[in-house]
Amino acid sequence: MKLVKGMPGVEITAGLAHRLTSQNPEDYGLAAGTPMYTSLDQVEAGVADVWVDFTVPSSVYQNVKFALEHGFTPIVGTTGLTDQQEAELKDLAQTQGLGGLIAPNFGMSAVLLMKFAKEAAKYFPDVEIIEMHHADKKDAPSGTALATAKMIAEVSDRKAPNSVETLPGARGGDYEGIKIHSVRLPGYVAHEQVLFGGPGEALTIRQDSFDRSSFMSGVKVALEKASDLDQLYVGLENIL
């Protein structure tokens, strides 16, 4: 909210939430008369140019599909989309002649972590990922951790060693041989470590988001470039 209010030429023209404690937009810091919707079928065509989605994994696909079908440029920070859903949304955006962005993480430190990890994986094929988030995060692994694994897999043919799990799940999830471990605890916000091991040495790349304000610089970039996006991109690094 504060970010948009501080950007010249940008304003919030409508809000959508499936559960509202109030129908008065002023209770949310919005201008009087701003439409407040509680379902997709209430959203009016042309009410906005850009659709910013920070919702939940269970609704993000339908939200973004609706946005593209009705001419909105989506800027999406909600995780939980599958590879197939992302591919379908990309195809739909192309059909509609729209651009947009799906970003697993809008934090610059997270974007750089993924970039650095992909580079390191060329030299250290043995790698595991640990991601730590607040206790209320709905999906696991995080979209950032999964995106990191996908980027590493592009340059590495790592195969996870066979391990005997005396407690099922102890070795974490597996993405093309890359183990991903998820931690959910109160007190955390969003954190990730990528651990590389080699003969006689190790490399750890870590990023920490201590406050949600850390994501705003990336959101600002996406909003500034929204009108110039010629396709639906996945990953903030692709529009920097």
Catalytic residue (choose from 137, 150, 181, 191) = 137
What is the C-alpha to C-alpha distance for residues 109 and 98, in angstroms, rounded to an integer? 28
- In the residue annotation, 137 being an active-site residue is answered as yes
Amino acid (one-letter) located at 155: V
> From the CA atom positions of the chain, what is the Rg in Å?
19
Phi, psi (degrees; rounded to nearest 5) at 74: -85, 135
**Annotated active-site residue in 118, 133, 150, 179:** 133
For this structure, is 70 an active site residue? no
Complete DSSP assignment for 125-146 = -EEEEEEEE-TT--SSS-HHHH
From the CB of residue 221, how many other CB atoms can be counted at a distance below 10 Å? 17
Beta bridge pairs of residue 66: none
| Amino acid, res. 137 | K
What are the catalytic residues?
Answer: 133, 137
